[in-house]
Chain A
Amino acid sequence: LSIIFCVNQVVGDNDVQSIVMSYLLHNCFNETADSLASCTGMKQPAIDRDNMERRKQIIHFILERKALKAVELTEQLAQDLLEKNKDLHFDLLCLHFVELVCVGKCTEALEFAQTRLAPFGKVQKYVEKLEDVMALLAYEDPEKSPMFHLLSSEYRQQVADNLNRTILEHANHPSYTPMERLIQQMTVTRQYLTEENGKDAFPPFSLKDSLKG
């Protein structure tokens, strides 16, 4: 019911700008953020610039297939972060492994796996992923293997996002932007309404459709 009331409220420009700004800062688009600030005359929130710079670098390293460098920088930024987030650590090391396989350095990849990945193999939840990753070695052309998605840029982006959030969380910043939270909330609320009133009255929320206007 509160949604219906909201429709009639006017959403202020300031609110919208804050939402956009927080999104930009979360994703380290610092130049765009500066631009937005100067265009609108809004005050930039006090965020840790240094933290943002580093996050930007780390993310780029991942996207540029330099996962080990990303790990190095992360450890410099927050010593115990990877220790406390073993899943993430494992994913990053696996990325490095995949990078080696992609450039044909299979023997090196095998050695890396035997030294750095093997300890994870002792824990049940990592075993399946480890097997996926090891199997890449069997294929002359990893792109043609069943695990080709591990080589994709989407996957790298996914790991990068995850690391970004973890770093923010570690520094006691929110790991999800208000924008994301709003969309999540919208989706859940719509879901609830659909369940109560049927699909015809309230179709499930779709961002794509909303953007069409």
Chain B
Amino acid sequence: MDDTIGSNGLVKKSEFIRIIIDALLSLGFGDIAATLEEESRIPLHSNPIKQFLELLKNGEWDRCIDALQGLELRERDDNAARVLLLEQKYLEFLKVENSVDALSTLRMMPPLGVDAERIRELSSKLMSGPGEDTERSVVLEKLRKLFPPAVIIPERRLEHLLETAFDLEVYECMYHNIPDSDLSLCSEHRCEKHKIPSETVQILEEHTDEVWFLKFSHNGKYLASASKDKSAIIWEIDAERKLLVKHKLVGHENPVVTVLWSPDDRQVITCGENEVIKRWDVNSGECVQSYERNGVGSVSCGWFHDGTGIIGAMEDRRIYLWNLDGTEIEHEQDQRAQKLSDVAMTTDGKWLVSVGKEPHKISLFDRVTRAERVIEEDDMITSFSLSKDSKYILIDLTTEMIQLWNIEGEPNKFYGFEGHKRKRLIIRSCFGGYEESFVASGSEDSQVYIWHRREPFLRLRVLPGHSGAVNCVSWNPTDLHMLASASDDGTIRIWGLDKKLN
């Protein structure tokens, strides 16, 4: 019975020492590894195995096959090992275009009982070449499985075990919201709630009326906001993580309902309420293009995934696509049954997402096949937002429910988030935080709500502060601890970590 260490009696001492020896070797400390083997009298591998591994590493196939004899494998495994080694020898001959030796190696295989199908596959490589998978490490891995367990230790086993432990810790950390670089082997990891924004760190008062929409740029350096005061503002984040006005985008004659960043963050588009869509240069603050349709006002807008075009959802209940220069690409022929709201294109450019032909449906339109997938909800949909990788969607319903769906492949319903308030207005939600694991939402009760996306029943944060309905929230994509909220009280609040606890 092997000695064990640790309180659970699960870790065998000899295995523990052996993986340490392997770790030392992989770090380049050959001498220390040898000393440890000597002092502990526990070798990493027995001598025959050591020699075998050395021969394999050097590609000395014939000697490797001979060495199999001394390893006392079961007959079936011994045979399988021989075949594996011969195959590798064969493939390596093919790689250097040595057909003659490859052929004679191939002919050694039928007597070993290799099945006819495999022989065919291998023979055809005489014409087509060795193909993929000729790495020696792959062969070693296959061989290892033929040996009794623990006879051969996989390289870098300790690293792998540690990374698995980290993965588990992160998975189980309910409030995990720190950059990966902050993880440490030296202490047990638990984020605790204080790693989630909870305090107002700045109040932005530049707008003179309700703020309806806001969004951080993809690079997290800017924030754009849209207001009933008919303007949009681009804010810049300075070195002290404070936001300052960069440009006020003036020109709309109606309230601005959305403002969205181009994929390269150099431009934004704004949508006037029942008006036109405008494109602005972020650096200069100038309007460079307007997108409109005679006599038809705009409801919502979006960017093409590659920034080469603009999507518009219009008052005539159709979706329009324009080139950047303003020329129309196409528009929907049929009108939808109800007023449109949000539109978006997935980041792979494959799907056009919009509230569909009916108020409780979301339509995913395949731009290539022109086919449509539908997500059906139980209640009317007011708005939606996509995750960064476009694999998930948050759908805001009139019944104060935010529904999470997976839209990679067949749409699949996940969780519903509740607790916030919504009666009359469009209240938006968003993904954010570490690997977008959190869901945040505005609310008519003037508070910001935050949940973990796998724990819909646990409201992680309810943040008071605003004195009017919170219409929209945005989480900074590159700063895990910065959240912004837009409110009917005319202000924008920037939320950060509780300084006392951090």
Q: B100 to A107, Cβ gap below 8 A?
A: yes
Q: Is the beta-carbon distance between A110 and B124 smaller than 8 angstroms?
A: no
In the complex, how many angstroms separate the beta carbon of A120 from the nearest chain B beta carbon?
Answer: 10
Taken together as a complex, chains A and B put the C-alpha atoms of A182 and B111 apart, in Å, by 50
- Do B120 and A113 touch across chains, with their CB atoms under 8 A apart? no
Say if the beta carbon of A132 comes within 8 Å of chain B.
Answer: yes
CB-contact partner of A135 in B100, B103, B111, B116, under 8 A: B116
CB of B126 closer than 8 Å to a CB of A: yes
List 16 additional contacts besides A137-B126, A145-B116; criterion CB under 8 Å: A107-B100, A130-B124, A130-B127, A131-B121, A131-B123, A131-B124, A135-B116, A135-B119, A136-B123, A137-B103, A138-B109, A138-B110, A138-B119, A138-B122, A138-B123, A145-B110
Q: Distance in Å from the Cβ of B107 to the closest Cβ of chain A?
A: 6
Residue of B nearest to A113 (CB): B127
B128 and A110 within 8 A (CB): no
- Please, which residues of chain A bring their CB within 8 A of the CB of B127? 113-114, 117-118, 121, 130, 134
Nearest A residue to B102 via CB reads A110
Which one of B106, B123, B126 has the highest number of Cβ atoms from chain A below 10 Å of its Cβ? B123
B103 touches A134 (CB 8 A): no
Q: Is the CB of A137 within 8 A of B120?
A: no
The chain A residue sitting closest to B111, CB to CB, is: A140
Partner among B99, B119, B122, B128 whose Cβ is within 8 Å of the Cβ of A121: B128
**B residues 189-224 in Cβ contact with A at 8 Å:** none
Contact digits for A130-151, partner B, Cβ 8 Å, 1 yes 0 no: 1110111111100001100000
Does any Cβ of B come within 8 Å of A106's Cβ?
Answer: yes
- Contact A134–B107 (Cβ < 8 Å): no
Distance in Å: Cβ of B346 to nearest Cβ of chain A: 35
The 25 sampled A-B contact pairs (Cβ below 8 Å) are A106-B103, A107-B99, A107-B103, A113-B127, A114-B99, A118-B127, A130-B124, A131-B121, A132-B120, A134-B120, A134-B126, A135-B119, A135-B124, A137-B103, A137-B106, A137-B107, A138-B106, A138-B107, A138-B110, A138-B119, A138-B123, A139-B107, A140-B107, A140-B110, A146-B116
Question: What is the CA–CA distance of A140 and B126 in the complex, to the nearest angstrom?
Answer: 16
Give residues 89-106 of B contacting A (CB, 8 Å).
99-100, 103, 106
Main secondary structure on chain A at its contact with chain B?
Answer: helix
Kindly state the separation between the CA atoms of A139 and B127 in the bound complex, as whole angstroms. 17
Residues of chain A contacted by B126 (CB below 8 angstroms): 110, 113-114, 134, 137
- The answer to whether A139 touches B124 (Cβ under 8 A) is no
CA distance A145 to B120 in the complex (A): 11
Are A134 and B100 CB-contacts (below 8 A) given A139-B107, A139-B110? no
Q: Give the chain B neighbours of A106 by CB distance below 8 A.
A: 103
Q: Which of A106-125 contact B (CB under 8 A)?
A: 106-107, 110-111, 113-114, 117-118, 121
A153 smallest CB distance to B (angstroms): 23
CA distance A118 to B122 in the complex (A): 16
A: number of interface residues (CB 8 Å): 21
Alpha-carbon distance A131/B119, docked complex (angstroms): 10
**Which residues of chain A are within 8 angstroms of B109 by Cβ–Cβ distance?**
138
Interface string of B66-78 (1 = CB under 8 A from A): 0000000000000
Q: Whole-angstrom distance from the CB of A131 to the nearest CB of chain B?
A: 5
Q: Which B residue's beta carbon lies closest to that of A132? A: B120
- Bound-state CA distance A132–B100 (Å) is 20
Shortest CB-to-CB span from B131 to chain A, Å, is 14
A138 to B110, CA, bound (A): 7
A191 to B484 alpha-carbon distance, docked (Å): 83
Task: From the candidates A110, A117, A118, A131, name the one contacting B103 in the complex (CB within 8 A).
Answer: A110
| A130 neighbours in B (Cβ, 8 Å) | 124, 127
Give Cα A19–Cα B127 distance, bound, in whole angstroms.
48
Chain A residue contacts of B106, Cβ below 8 A: 137-138
Bound-complex Cα distance A106 to B104 (A): 10
* Nearest CB of A to B84, in Å: 17
Nearest 7 CB-CB pairings of A with B: A134-B123, A135-B123, A135-B120, A146-B116, A131-B124, A138-B106, A131-B120
A8–chain B nearest beta-carbon distance, Å: 57
CB closest chain-A residue, reference B114: A138
Cα of A107 to Cα of B123 in the assembled complex, Å:
13
Query: Chain B contacts of A135 at CB under 8 A?
Result: 116, 119-120, 123-124
A136 nearest in chain B by CB position: B123
Residues of B within 8 Å of A121, CB to CB, are 127-128
Closest to B99 in A: A110
Residue of A114, A118, A131 contacting most chain B CB atoms (<10 Å): A131
Q: Report the nearest B residue to A146, measured CB to CB.
A: B116
Within the complex, the shortest CB–CB distance from A14 to chain B, in Å, comes to: 54
Q: Could you tell me the distance in whole angstroms from the C-beta of B105 to the nearest C-beta in chain A?
A: 10
Cβ of A199 to closest chain B Cβ, rounded Å? 39
* A 32-84 contacts with B by CB, 8 A: none
B89 CB to nearest A CB, Å? 14
Minimal beta-carbon separation of A111 from chain B (angstroms): 8
Chain A residues, Cβ within 8 Å of B116: 135, 145-146
